[in-house]
Amino acid sequence: MAASMQESRYGFECIPNNLAQWETSEMKLKFLQWNLDQHGRVKRFRVRGKFDPADETSFLRAFFESPEVRAELPFPSSMPPSIESMSFRKLKTSVLSMAFFEKLEDNPQIVSKSGYIRKCYDDVYNDCTVSDCLRDMVVNPDSEHASLFSSAEQDEAVFQIFKRLVIGGAMSQPDDNLEPYLSMTKQVYKALVSVRKEADSKALQVYSPVYIFTDDDSSNQPQFFPTSSPFNACFLAVDPKKHAVLCWYAPFVPFW
């Protein structure tokens, strides 16, 4: 009964040919190079029903249970019809400048003055091969640079986007320089969120809530992803003004 009420409360319809910001030649090339194109997908949906921030869980559950959504996103066939539990969190969206990453650019142990990313001894963490200090920072919890960004900073949507791009897929061909990662992070962030100008200050403000879904730690079987990995991510941005949802599905699928 509850599931039926939830289903009738929200509806979702895929909006085709409305992803120009995600389909630039540069983004396509980088997603191919970083192996984010093979298993990932970006889709926008029109929403029937009013999004209530106070009841976000019901909205998000309805999204993932929707047959229309499942027809457009490459979820695993083992995904249950009803979602009992979800591992997600709402990300911060206070960052409006790429100056956020200056501490990274100013750290000579990770990035040289020329922007070259320092190399390190090859290692593998949860099927992700690490051969440079930038990847080591975002992949290795014991890295000496793991705390360069505070927990609060790592909860920013722009950081999580950056992290997912740097990790890429299992067959990623990493860049030698930092600039491509920053440039693509900016493009993806702008394509994902919705902004408006405040009436008084005229300052830009992100008004769309952004959520990130990861593996459910309470289950040995991942619901949203083909295989379990700490690098799995699914970003969901809700635009309440346009009654739309944009989803970037970015699983990490091991090569072997």
Q: Which two tokens stand for residue 235?
A: 């970003």
pLDDT value at position 122?
Answer: 94
pLDDT value at position 221?
Answer: 57
pLDDT value at position 105?
Answer: 92
- Counting Cβ atoms within 10 Å, is residue 254 exposed (0-12), middle (13-18) or buried (19+)? middle
Helix (H) or strand (E) holding 180: helix 179-192
Which is it for strands 195-197 and 204-206: parallel, antiparallel or unpaired? Answer: antiparallel
pLDDT digits (tens, 9 = 90+) for 41-96: 999 999 999 999 999 999 999 999 999 999 999 999 989 899 888 889 999 999 99
pLDDT value at position 2?
Answer: 46
Helix, strand, or coil (residue 235): strand
pLDDT at 199 over 90: no
pLDDT value at position 197?
Answer: 85
pLDDT bracket for residue 4 (50, 70, 90): very low
Between CA 101 and CA 127 the distance in angstroms is 27
User: What's the chain's average pLDDT?
Assistant: 92
Lowest-pLDDT choice from 44-58, 71-85, 152-166, 193-207: 193-207
pLDDT digits (tens, 9 = 90+) for 85-118: 888 999 999 999 999 999 999 999 999 999 999 9
What Cα–Cα distance (Å) separates residue 82 from each residue in 78, 219, 221?
11, 15, 15
Q: What is the four-CA torsion angle of 58, 61, 65, 69, rounded to 10 degrees?
A: 100
pLDDT value at position 220?
Answer: 55
Query: In terms of pLDDT, which residue wins out, 204 or 39?
Result: 39
pLDDT bracket for residue 218 (50, 70, 90): low
pLDDT bracket for residue 1 (50, 70, 90): very low
Per-residue pLDDT averaged across 128-132, rounded?
96
Lowest-pLDDT choice from 64-68, 199-203, 223-227: 199-203
pLDDT value at position 85?
Answer: 83
Per-residue pLDDT averaged across 201-206, rounded?
83
Cα 172 to chain centroid, rounded: 17
Give domain limits for the chain.
Answer: 2-19+40-90+209-250
